[in-house]
Amino acid sequence: MSVVVPPVSIIEVELAVQGMTCGACAAKIEKELNHIPGIEAAVNYATETAMVAYDGDTVTESVVLSAITKIGYSAHVLDDQPFDDDLDARLRSALIRLAISIVFTVPVVLISMVMPWQFHNWQWWAMALSAPVVTWGAWPFHKAAIKNALHGTTTMDTLISVGVIAATAWSVWAVVWGDAIMSSAHNGMTMDQSSSSHVYFEVGATVTAFILIGRYLEMRAKHSAGDALRALLALGAKYATVLRDGEEVSIPASVVREGDIVVVRPGEKIAADGVVTDGSSSVDMSMVTGESVPVDVTVGDAVTSATVNMNGRLLVRATRVGAETTFARMAKLVRDAQATKAPVQKFADKVSSVFVPVVFAISAGTFGVWMYLDGDTAKAFTAAVAVLIIACPCALGLATPTALMVGSGRAAQMGIVIKGIDVLQSTRRIDTVVLDKTGTVTTGVMSLVDVVCVDGVTRNDALTFAGAVEKSSEHPIARAIVRTAEEEVGTLPALDDFESLPGVGATGRIGGTIVTVGREEMFRERLVILPKMIREALATSREDGHTAVIVTWDGQAKAVLALADQPKPTSAEAIASLKLMGLAPILLTGDNPTTARAIAESVGIDTDEHHLYAGVMPEDKVAVVRDLQDRGYAVAMVGDGVNDAAALTQADVGIAMGGGTDVAMQASDLTIVNGDLRSVPDAIRLSRATLRTIRTNVFWAFAYNVAAIPLAASGRLNPMWAGLAMASSSVFVVTNSLRLRRVKLHR
């Protein structure tokens, strides 16, 4: 007898985590959570958030929160806003602490290091002035160190706190019990003073000031790095007006229900994805798609949440609300992407988690070696403190998150959603881009491109008769004919006795005239004689890759209407960009070879057997992608339909056009929300730039520590300058990431 195991209920939450001061904090929290059975967590120091997935059958939300509290931090569940509401207050508090610390530090440095500024008993004044800095100014570091000690752990704050306390304690001893009062100035870069006379008040104060500067700049830079996503999330509608029992009622946008009729006045944001049931207007889609040109909408057209109604009053029936809207899903994908980690960052986190004990060991070893070789306590002490201060690998914890925040945020502003760090890794290898035709390279909407009439028949006549018949049909070809007919002719005549002829055409009676619109095959089967002009027009349409229908009345063929799915205006430019990047574009379509070749030629894709695959059934698209991979190519697949989903999943990088189906977007790694093919090379270019930035950040963060620790241990670096260097490394990493905002794209 088989046992049915009930499915595990996995719950995903995003937490705001307070109290983290470095990458080691994030690593510690992540390790603690992942040790609990049923929990998988990823903690992001840059965003101060944690993405947690837990088994709802065995773990509760309170267990997750208490695990974080147990090790000295606090957390709460985030709803829609992934950033702390009190960030501005924290920035103000940090600035005040920094300003006051600098005010007291400057005179300490001057009287300690500039001999003309010194006076009798200046050491006492240095001690008094530095006291507020090394206590109140450095309190965030001391507080974190104490909290860590109580929980049996250490972080970068432990190193800073111990270094500042050690420098200050030594100096107090030298002033009170030593002979420091007898000394004059000392050199801030070297260690040539006697053991009992050297004081380090300026070291404790300046290290604190420099690190406070670094933390403040880091906080501001992190805030800037998240500006794009913050701005994106702020674009959503806060309130909506809905019809309830015939009355207009204003409610929070979050409580709009599926099926509600939402009233959208000019200038208001649309609160849900839906369909226009009344009215017409232009809608500004720029906040979702990145496109600045408004889109005209009328009854029956779909609209997207967070877009802005420009002029007319609209009634919109909500089809997707809350977290299911296009805007909400796009924001969630960006937030999820920012929570992922590159393999190189995972290694950096492991290093950070064990680094502090190692640094203490190196510092103690440095002190011992100096005492053994030189016997000068001051020199040994200075070198040991310098190692403590300079070794903090804070930059490692910021290397990946800040770059990913800026890169994905910039992409989101342009209507490009990058799902995660793995995507960035994959784009580096891409050399082949496979493009679906319909809806990707082309508009996906048939349009009338030519009308050829026999002698005595005008274009207006042909459109009037064809439009009247096709108005009763829902076929894409019929809709294209009707659209052009109504634009050029206006009101179409009434039709009687309409009959649809599936697969071949339609017929009906206008007054006393029988009108038929259909494919060539139907008229050949009916032995209708086609005039030479009609036959030539059909042949030309076939050569051009167009779809042609014949219009007959009075039993005679009168006109040929040629239709085509036209390339998007930007497709040729996009293909050219891909080629300039060294990528090979390939067209993959189920359409006939003639049509496929015509489209490929019009956008600049080669039409040989290696770059054009036509007549491919949906189930065979996967085989084409797999075959290319088997031949050694790294493939990006671009598509928009359900029939593309499997191929998108098979490809090394799947790119979905946002105007397509949910299935395609779910199967993809990148989503082009704006549907502009030029965004495909932009997305690849931005992904590669983000990955390069991550690698640069990690390299310099490691290089800094590898070079700095031996320098400090050798006694060549005063702790004061070590503090400055440590703070500068974090600022460098964040500012380097901010350069991604200037990556050149097609716009």
Residues with catalytic roles: 436
Name residues whose C-beta falls within 8 Å of residue 662's C-beta, 6 or more positions apart in sequence: none
In the chain the first and final C-alpha atoms are separated, in Å, by 64
Sheet holding 670-672, edge to edge: 416-418, 670-672, 653-657, 635-639, 432-436, 584-588, 612-613
Q: Using alpha carbons only, what angle is made at residue 536 by residues 533 and 537, rounded to the nearest 5 degrees?
A: 85
Q: Which two tokens stand for residue 222?
A: 């992190």
* Secondary structure in 3-state letters for 368-387: HHHHHHCCCHHHHHHHHHHH
Of 730, 722, 567, 727, the closest CA to residue 203 belongs to: 722
For residue 137 the two structure tokens come to 């100014």
Whole-number Å distance between alpha carbons of 290 and 284: 10
DSSP strands (E only) in 224-313: 239-244, 247-252, 261-264, 273-278, 281-284, 295-297, 302-303, 308-309
Q: Minimal CA–CA distance to 570: which of 582, 578, 562?
A: 578
Question: Which of 44, 48, 50 minimizes the C-alpha distance to 85?
Answer: 48
The residue written with tokens 């929070």 in the block is: 252
Rounded Cα distance, 225 and 734, in Å? 8
* Phi, psi torsion values for 536, nearest 5 degrees: -65, -40
Phi, psi values for residue 189, rounded to 5°: -100, -25
Rounded-to-integer distance, Cα 500 and Cα 490, Å: 23
| CA-to-CA dists, residue 672 to 414, 440, 458, 568, 677, angstroms | 9, 10, 43, 14, 8
Helix ranges restricted to H, 568-617: 571-580, 593-603
Distance CA 87, CA 90 (A): 5
What own/partner pairs with CB < 8 Å and gap ≥ 24 does 100-104 have? 100/132, 100/136, 100/137, 101/132, 101/133, 101/137, 101/205, 101/208, 101/209, 101/212, 102/209, 104/129, 104/130, 104/132, 104/133, 104/137, 104/205
Q: Which letter, b or e, does each residue of 483-495 get, where b requires 16 or more Cβ atoms within 10 Å of its Cβ? A: bbbeeebeebeeb
Strands 39-44 and 247-252: what pairing? unpaired
Q: What is the 3-state secondary structure (H, E, C) of 182-194?
A: HCCCCCCCCCCCC
> Measured between alpha carbons, how far is 114 from 354 in angstroms, rounded to an integer?
40
Q: Is 433 helix (H, G, I), strand (E, B) or coil?
A: strand
How many angstroms separate the CA atoms of 261 and 474, rounded? 26
208-244 b/e (C-beta count within 10 Å ≥ 16 → b): bbbbbbbbbbbbbbbbbbbbbbbebbebbbeebbbee
C-alpha 509/C-alpha 157 separation (Å) is 86
Q: Which of 359, 361, 347 is nearest to 389 (CA)?
A: 359
